[in-house]
Structure 1
Amino acid sequence: MQGINEIIYLILAACLLPYVFAIIAKIAGGFKVADNQNPRDFLAKTTGLAARANAAQQNSFESLPLFIAAVLIAEYMVVSQIWILLFGTAYIILRILYGLCYLANLSSLRSILWFLSMLCPISLLLIVIKITS
């Protein structure tokens, strides 16, 4: 049961990560209480660091379904928890680095990290396909 708790923490971390970038975007953009009337409009009008943090937030949300599905399917299909934890941890670390590159405006490195992070859930799904074939 120890492994399942770690897997739940990985999913939780992946789900919370976009909100970290949202907070950074709002702070960097000078978000005020009045902006809460339409926070998406506020974020859409930001530039620079705030806009990049918002983009990192959006992309983090976009990648969540694939990650969560891959982890849950791998767990359901009884993939070794070592593989789930390895690819899950790598995904989280790569997504953090990806976000930091987004904030620092390092577009080429950011793209490489995005690609590597997406390979993590894809690899889990390929393992599932291999063990069920």
Structure 2
Amino acid sequence: MNLFLGLVSDTAASAIWAMVVASLLPLTMALTAKMLGGFNLADNAHPREFLQGTTGAAARANAAQQNSYETLPVFLAAVLAAMLFFVPQMIVNTLAWLYVLIRIGFCVAYITNLAMFRSILWGLSIACCLMLFYLSIRISM
């Protein structure tokens, strides 16, 4: 039985879906930042300027968006490397979805200003990526 009590399938599609969800997370945080900041149609002419001027939860949601973009390439590369080197698919899927869930928690912690918890979640999400790379290296030897 896997970490998610049988909710994660053992097909490659599961890891691909995790990559899709992780790729949509920055967009979700951008929309959240705009909603919390009172974004309106007139602000669409200069949305980055609008987001830079936000404060509080909106500014933190924007920061979560930026951090999500920063870590996304590492995650995508880790999953693809693990699949390329035939890490058992259930392990890849479990670590991929664990990353996604941790990153969602990270975003919530960022928006609600739980700085220490957010930092712990960031470290755990990177650990998922590093584990995928490590397993890829071990199998390729």
In structure 1, what residue type is equivalent to 2:136?
V
Which residue of the partner structure matches residue 7 of structure 2?
Answer: none
Provide the residue aligned with 2:15 in structure 1: 7
Aligned to 2:130, which of 109, 122, 126?
Answer: 122
Alignment counterpart, residue 119 of structure 2, candidates 105, 111, 120 = 111
How far apart are 1:34 and its partner, in Å?
Answer: 1.1
Q: CA deviation at 1:20?
A: 1.0
Structure 2 counterpart SS, 1:73? helix
Larger helix fraction of residues: 1
SS in 1 for 2:20: helix
- 2:12–2:93: 8 Å Cα contact kept in structure 1? no
* TM-score, normalising length: structure 1: 0.97
RMSD of the alignment, in Å?
1.2
Misfit runs of 4+, over 2 Å:
none
Q: Distance in 2 between matches of 1:10 and 1:115?
A: 19
Over the matched positions of the two proteins, sequence identity in percent amounts to 45
Return 5+ residue gaps in structure 2 as ranges: 1-9
Q: Aligned to 1:90, which of 90, 93, 98? A: 98
Q: State the TM-score, normalizing by the size of structure 2.
A: 0.91
Unaligned 5+ segments in structure 1 are none
Instruction: Report matched runs for 1:29-68 at 5 Å.
Output: 29-68=37-76
Q: Distance in 2 between matches of 1:36 and 1:77?
A: 44
* Corresponding pairs, count: 133
Superposed CA offset, 1:38-96 (max 9, x none): 11111011000100000000000111000000101111111100110111011001000
Looking at structure 2, the residues matched to 84 and 73 of structure 1 have their Cα atoms a distance apart, in angstroms, of 10
The residue number in structure 1 matching 2:35 is: 27
